């Protein structure tokens, strides 16, 4: 094996660092994400994994991947930019919520209490990254014809996937179609329910180019901390003063 | 509308509208925002525009109280009752419009049990309630003939109402992610827009409901000044926006002027809502009927202005390419209100119309001169 190749998969290292962070006092952990744009191949696997993990309905997406064509023919390239919630230090979405349904938790992640949100969508307009979605009660199987039998038909199709409750925030939500999160604002939360059981966010584990890095910014030995010190690092819309906790490597 | 013969057809129209609009109310109550044409990138639409329209119309009370108690135009106190009623009715319509626009209207009690003092929306609700309470007490004072209480309520209502209309502008002005909304200018402009549209409504009521020619002409002159100020403000808004050089602001302004709803902006807002009333106020300045029609035109054209202000800036993506990143009808930058939204709008308008028609029958004392302005019986 070439000595220039990494001796272990980055995911293994991140899992080890995650276990270390989870063993710490939770108040001393600060989750951050770093996305290396040079490694992103635009496969959208992270976006799909996120939708699947959180059982997101149509029209709700936490981590779309934006694509851009740059250059002039024949010197043209495509550039990809995944956009999760930036988990801002100074989140405009939190300040505008009239009923304190959204806040930053101690690890720096902006979370939503679906049972408290009134669905005014003020946070959606306040977020400079368009990182919040409203759940308009969509179903993928709405247009699926009903038919007899166990395998065919809308009900059977929906039962296997979208009627299932979302696992978000580790709470026991009712089956989809019975109240919240329908009608609520929804957003990326760094897969809180996965972190709670020692798993990395689904966008991190599904990234085949290992472009998405996740970890504890307060751990000086963590890989995210290394990346944050890179000269290639930048954050989106810094001029807004939101101080995102998602960093990009150009 | 004191004339029953004249008001009966209007009541019929209102009843038909209420009946037809019931489906929109049912949809909003049961399915909430699900059947709307809204999306995550254009999360505010007709419901918010309707709310802004009616809250603006409620500013007639502020205008008249300022004229009576600050500028000393005592003759306007003759229509204090109808103005108070109009303020209450339009506030109720505004409240219904925005409540039915929520994803979970049944959780509105959360404003009280878990309030956020940093949110302009919370303060908006506080001042909304305060205006409602102050005007309700004033209506009661007029009905029982208590001049001192009515005067006290009027004086209190001026700062409270100013806070309310300013908070509505502030609500938008802090949204820096949509630069066409943000900035202190919006707060001031909202107060002016409210005074203009509310002034238009009370001018129309002063003639069509009260047939007070002197009051109508006085209000007409005030509305003409407000209209001129509004035109200057609107010109400043577009001029500064375009000349400032920010592409996102320019894109939002272009969406207003040439976008999907540009026809309503030009025809209804600029044509019907600004220039036609301006012409009527200039040419027919001595005719109470012409002045009242000018007021009505302002009211009719204002929904288009509110709609353009709310919807067009949202058609500019927060990040370039965001609307193309994940394909879904709810993740686009366009918005077309659905039939249910239009029916709900029709229902709220019909409720307002019905309120004005049945008002004189339910509260005759509000629709006549206050007791302290009536000649003593011999």
Three-state secondary structure of chain A: CCCCCCCCCHHHHHHHHHHHHHCCCHHHCCEEEEEECCCCCCCCHHHHHHHHHCCCCCCCCCCCEEEEEEEECCEEEEEEEECCCCCCCCCHHHHHCCCCCEEECCCCCEEECCCCCCCCCHHHHHCCCCCEEECCCCCHHHHCCCCCCCCCCHHHHHHCCCCCCCCHHHCCCCCCCCCCCCCCEEECCCCHHHHCCCCCCHHHHCCCCCCEEEEECCCCCCHHHHHHCCCCEECCCHHHCCCCCEEEEC
Task: Return the pLDDT at B203.
Answer: 98
Task: Return the pLDDT at A213.
Answer: 97
- With beta carbons less than 8 A apart as the criterion, state whether B292 and B218 touch: no
Strand partners, A111: A103
10-residue mean pLDDT profile of chain A (250 residues): values are 76 97 96 97 97 95 96 94 98 98 97 97 98 95 73 72 88 87 97 97 97 98 96 97 97
**What percent of chain A is modeled with pLDDT above 70?**
96
The DSSP output letter for B286 is T
pTM for the whole thing?
Answer: 0.95
User: Is B337 contained in some domain?
Assistant: no
Give the contacts of A72 (CB within 8 A, at least 6 positions apart).
none
- The reply to whether A132 touches chain B by the CB within 8 Å rule is yes
CA distance A209 to chain B (A): 19
Q: How many CB atoms lie within 10 A of CB B352?
A: 23
User: Is B176 contained in some domain?
Assistant: yes
Closest C-alpha to B87, from B291, B352, B297, B298: B352
User: Is B130 contained in some domain?
Assistant: yes
Domain boundaries, chain A: 10-249
Task: Flag if A118 and B108 touch (Cβ within 8 Å).
Answer: yes
Interface test with A, best of B45, B110, B313 (most A CBs within 10 A): B110
CA angle B219, B221, B225 (to 5 degrees): 115
Say whether the ipTM exceeds 0.85. yes
State how far the Cα of A200 lies from the Cα of A192, in Å rounded to an integer: 9
Domain count, chain B: 1
For the stretch B263-289, pLDDT in tens is: 999 999 999 999 999 999 999 999 999
- The reply to whether A138 touches chain B by the CB within 8 Å rule is yes
Domain of B99? 4-321+349-369
Task: Return the pLDDT at B3.
Answer: 58
Weakly modelled stretches of chain B, pLDDT under 70: 1-5, 375-378
Closest C-alpha to A187, from A107, A250, A131: A131
Interface test with B, best of A63, A83, A100 (most B CBs within 10 A): A100
CATH architecture designation of domain A10-249: 2-Layer Sandwich (3.30)
CA distance B111 to chain A (A): 5
User: Is B14 contained in some domain?
Assistant: yes
- With beta carbons less than 8 A apart as the criterion, state whether B56 and B202 touch: no
The DSSP output letter for B266 is I
Interface of B with A in 150-179 (CB under 8 A): 174-178
- Nearest Cβ partner for A66 among B40, B322, B330: B322
Task: Return the pLDDT at A7.
Answer: 80
- Nearest Cβ partner for B121 among A98, A116, A133: A98
Task: Flag if B115 and A180 touch (Cβ within 8 Å).
Answer: no
The DSSP output letter for B246 is -
Interface of B with A in 289-348 (CB under 8 A): 314, 317-322, 324-326, 328-331
State how far the Cα of B300 lies from the Cα of A216, in Å rounded to an integer: 57
Six-digit token string for B60 = 């007639």
Task: Return the pLDDT at B5.
Answer: 65
- Nearest Cβ partner for B104 among A59, A96, A118: A118
| CATH number, position B56 | 1.20.1630.10
For the stretch B8-20, pLDDT in tens is: 899 999 999 999 9
Interface test with A, best of B128, B174, B325, B338 (most A CBs within 10 A): B325
Provide the sign of the torsion angle of the four alpha carbons A175, A141, A131, B337, taken in this order: negative
User: Is B133 contained in some domain?
Assistant: yes
Task: Return the pLDDT at A5.
Answer: 72
Task: Return the pLDDT at A2.
Answer: 64
Q: Looking at chain B, which residue has its C-alpha nearest residue A102? A: B116
- The reply to whether A69 touches chain B by the CB within 8 Å rule is no
State how far the Cα of A250 lies from the Cα of B134, in Å rounded to an integer: 58
Task: Flag if A134 and B107 touch (Cβ within 8 Å).
Answer: no
User: Is B84 contained in some domain?
Assistant: yes
Q: Looking at chain A, which residue has its C-alpha nearest residue B174? A: A126
Chain B contact set for A133 (CB, 8 A):
40, 330-331
């Amino acid at each position: 094996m070439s000595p220039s190749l990494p001796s272990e998969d980055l995911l293994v290292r991140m899992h080890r660092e995650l276990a270390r962070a989870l063993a710490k006092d939770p108040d001393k952990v600060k989750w951050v994400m770093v996305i290396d744009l040079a490694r992103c191949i635009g496969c959208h696997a992270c976006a799909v994994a996120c939708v699947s993990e959180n059982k997101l309905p149509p029209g709700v997406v936490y981590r779309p991947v934006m694509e851009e064509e740059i250059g002039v023919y024949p010197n043209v390239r495509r550039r990809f930019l995944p956009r999760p919630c930036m988990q801002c230090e100074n989140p405009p979405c939190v300040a505008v919520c009239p009923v304190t349904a959204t806040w930053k938790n101690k690890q720096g992640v902006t979370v939503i209490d679906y049972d408290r949100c009134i669905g005014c969508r003020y946070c959606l307009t306040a977020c400079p990254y368009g990182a919040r979605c409203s759940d308009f009660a969509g179903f993928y199987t709405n247009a699926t014809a009903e038919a007899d039998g166990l395998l065919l038909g809308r009900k059977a199709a929906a039962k296997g996937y979208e009627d299932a409750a979302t696992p978000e925030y580790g709470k026991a939500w009712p089956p989809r179609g019975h109240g919240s999160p329908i009608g609520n604002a929804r957003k990326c939360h760094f897969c809180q329910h996965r972190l709670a059981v020692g798993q990395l966010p689904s966008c991190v584990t599904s990234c085949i180019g290992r472009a998405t890095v996740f970890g504890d910014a307060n751990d000086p030995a963590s890989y995210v901390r290394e990346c944050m010190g890179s000269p290639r690092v930048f954050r989106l819309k810094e001029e807004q003063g939101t101080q995102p906790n998602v960093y990009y490597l150009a | 509308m004191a004339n029953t013969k004249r008001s009966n057809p209007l009541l019929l129209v209102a009843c038909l509208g209420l009946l037809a609009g019931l489906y929109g109310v049912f949809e909003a109550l049961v399915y909430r925002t699900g059947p709307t044409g809204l999306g995550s990138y254009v999360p505010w639409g007709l419901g918010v525009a309707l709310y802004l329209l009616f809250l603006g119309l409620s500013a007639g009370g502020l205008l008249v109280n300022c004229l009576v108690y600050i500028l000393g135009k005592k003759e306007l106190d003759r229509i204090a009752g109808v103005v108070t009623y109009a303020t209450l009715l339009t506030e109720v319509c505004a409240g219904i419009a925005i409540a039915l626009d929520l994803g979970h209207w049944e959780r509105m009690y959360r404003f009280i049990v878990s309030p956020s003092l940093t949110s302009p929306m919370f303060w908006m609700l506080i001042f909304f309630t305060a205006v409602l309470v102050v005007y309700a007490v004033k209506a009661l004072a007029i009905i029982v003939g208590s001049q001192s209480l009515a005067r006290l309520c009027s004086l209190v209502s001026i700062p409270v109402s100013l806070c309310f209309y300013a908070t509505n502008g502030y609500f938008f002005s802090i949204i820096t992610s949509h630069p066409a909304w943000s900035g202190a200018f919006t707060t001031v402009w909202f107060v002016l827009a409210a005074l203009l549209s509310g002034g238009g409504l009370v001018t129309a009521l002063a003639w069509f409901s009260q047939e007070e020619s002197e009051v109508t002409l006085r209000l007409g002159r005030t509305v003409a000044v407000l209209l001129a100020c509004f035109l200057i403000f609107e010109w400043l808004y577009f001029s500064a926006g375009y000349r400032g050089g920010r592409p996102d602001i320019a894109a939002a302004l272009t969406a207003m002027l040439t976008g999907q709803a540009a026809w309503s902006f030009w025809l209804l807002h600029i044509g019907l809502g600004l220039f036609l009333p301006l012409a009527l106020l200039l040419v027919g300045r001595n005719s109470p009927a012409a002045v009242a029609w000018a007021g009505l035109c302002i009211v009719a054209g204002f929904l288009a202005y509110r709609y353009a202000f709310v919807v067009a800036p949202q058609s500019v993506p927060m990040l370039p390419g965001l609307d193309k990143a994940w394909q879904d009808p709810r993740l686009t930058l366009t918005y077309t209100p659905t039939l249910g939204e239009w029916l709900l709008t029709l229902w709220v308008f019909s409720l307002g119309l019905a309120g004005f028609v049945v008002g004189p029958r339910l509260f005759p004392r509000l629709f006549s001169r206050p007791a302290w302005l009536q000649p003593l019986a011999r």
